[in-house]
Amino acid sequence: MEACAGRRDLIGITGMTVIILGLILLSLFAAAWVHMCLSAPKGKRGRRPVPDKERAEIYARKLSRMLQYDTVSKPEYNVEDLKRFRAFQGELERLFPQVHARLECFRLDGNLLYFWKGKSHDRPLVLMSHQDTVPAEGEWKYGPFSGAIAEGSVWGRGACDTKCSVMGFLQAVEELLEEGYEPEQDLYLSSSCTEEVSGDGCPKIVRFLQEKGVRPFLVCDEGGGIMEDPVPGVRGSFAMAGMMEKGMANVHFHVSGNGGHASTPLRGMPVARTADFVHWMEHHDPFRKRMEKPVREMLRRLAPYGILPVRYVFSNLWLFGPLVAEVMPRLSPHAAAMLQSTIAFTQIAGSDANNMFPKEVILGANLRFIPHQDMEETLGLVEKIAAKYGLEMEVVSAEPSTAVSETEGEAWELFSRVARETFPEAPVCPYILTGGTDARFYQDICPHVYRFAPVVLGPEQKAGIHGIDEHISTDCLPGCVDFYKNLIRANR
């Protein structure tokens, strides 16, 4: 009898606990609902400006001329290479005569720095984009150096990455000069010819500025852009500004063996060990996922524009943060790259002969680091896992993540106000750049480096960058010029 009563008590206590837990959960979800209604009401967008076809055509023709020059970069330039860049820069002189007549232009081994003196000098603005490109391989619909204007786009290597923005800021200054505008603040236009090979062009420009004692108030480089549907569940265009860049390393893994004839196969040979390691990395994903500040800020700003469940979750990261960090990578590889370090296996070399075991297998990989598990920790972790499979890791080159630019303060306010006014249809949103740009070199002399090219980078454009058939819509070119003009005018 007593035992039975005891069990009844136990059931009573457990039932009560379940009810209390249920009530706590319910009130948490209800609080989250109220928080969503207050902090992230449904987002409203401004109207997309009507495309200015006449201006679009003029700018498209200028960009087309720029794309007809081969400015493919190499780790080291010889005289012939410098001639190629000089020819391109000669074209810039013809396309933007006012800029070249009225601004001071410093040529630092093929890298360009223009200076337009302002009435005041306490808030220097730097607009930048590189003039070099990656090589153009494969079969193109229009030649990679044709500069073809067709199907509403300008086609060619560098159309998006990044001759469009070089055209944009040079044209902006050209027009301001024609209008008789005098800048309130100093302006610098910076364009390296070594961005694609992580060369020393931009560091040279930054050193030059440093020696002159210039501390930029705001730097706007390429990187982000007007992007569509940035994360699953959020539709429409957003002006995405990169606030930091992940770190990067290139590594080689070496596996030694004894060689030997393939007629007597043995277990655990170099190729098999390499394959085991790659397979393990692919299936275990050993890197920690966490939301860095720009990612939290991104989701918070995207929340009002998401479908209801997404709005509910993104506006309550205090409750759903860990869940989002787990689920997002499964929905989008791009989102995954913003939450964690990554490794991509890119090269492999083994035996020269089909019937011989290799004496050594070399596996190449590219790693990207996130601040919460930066260069040293990520490399240490990967080295340890590789060692379990008998692979020895050699670091070819490595660089940690950059600092995070501020999303508060005057510089951000200025940048985001101009972006909002120029692109009312695209809410401004910070994010993490998973690739690398020259902007990182400016981080030494400026805490407000925003990576944003004011052009539309839809899925087709993104596929063309470093791919084939790179092209940019002519309709977005007037917005690009306007953004730079507005930013120069607003910096007082």
Point out which residues bind Zn ion (CB under 5 A): 161
* Min separation Cβ 136 and Zn ion, Å: 12
**Token match 């930029």: residue?**
216
Q: What is the rounded CA–CA span in Å between residue 87 and residue 81?
A: 10
* Min separation Cβ 418 and Zn ion, Å: 24
* Min separation Cβ 262 and Zn ion, Å: 42
* Min separation Cβ 195 and Zn ion, Å: 7
State which residue, 81 or 161, has the beta carbon closest to Zn ion. Answer: 161
State which residue, 35 or 466, has the beta carbon closest to Zn ion. Answer: 466
Say whether 102 sits in a helix, a strand or coil.
Answer: helix
Q: What letter does residue 372 receive in the DSSP assignment?
A: T
Q: Shortest Cβ contact with Zn ion: which residue?
A: 161
**For the chain, first and last CA: distance in Å?**
87
* Min separation Cβ 161 and Zn ion, Å: 4
State which residue, 127 or 488, has the beta carbon closest to Zn ion. Answer: 127
* Contact of 282 with 369, CB cutoff 8 Å: no
**Neighbour order of strands in the sheet with 342-349:** 342-349, 360-369, 247-256, 392-399
Q: What is the rounded CA–CA span in Å between residue 409 and residue 450?
A: 13
State which residue, 221 or 482, has the beta carbon closest to Zn ion. Answer: 221
Q: What is the rounded CA–CA span in Å between residue 337 and residue 230?
A: 13
State which residue, 161 or 438, has the beta carbon closest to Zn ion. Answer: 161
Sequence-distant (6+) residues with CB within 8 A of 296 are: 317, 321
- Burial zone of 396 (CB within 10 Å; 0-12 exposed, 13-18 middle, 19+ buried): exposed
State which residue, 75 or 180, has the beta carbon closest to Zn ion. Answer: 75
Helix 317-331 with 2-39: angle, nearest 10 deg: 80
* Min separation Cβ 238 and Zn ion, Å: 21
Output the CA torsion 369→133→167→476 (10° steps).
-70
* Min separation Cβ 75 and Zn ion, Å: 15
State which residue, 161 or 186, has the beta carbon closest to Zn ion. Answer: 161
Q: What is the rounded CA–CA span in Å between residue 367 and residue 377?
A: 12
* Min separation Cβ 466 and Zn ion, Å: 6
- Tallying the residues shown for the chain, one arrives at 492
State which residue, 362 or 465, has the beta carbon closest to Zn ion. Answer: 465
Q: Locate 205 and state its tokens.
A: 């420009």
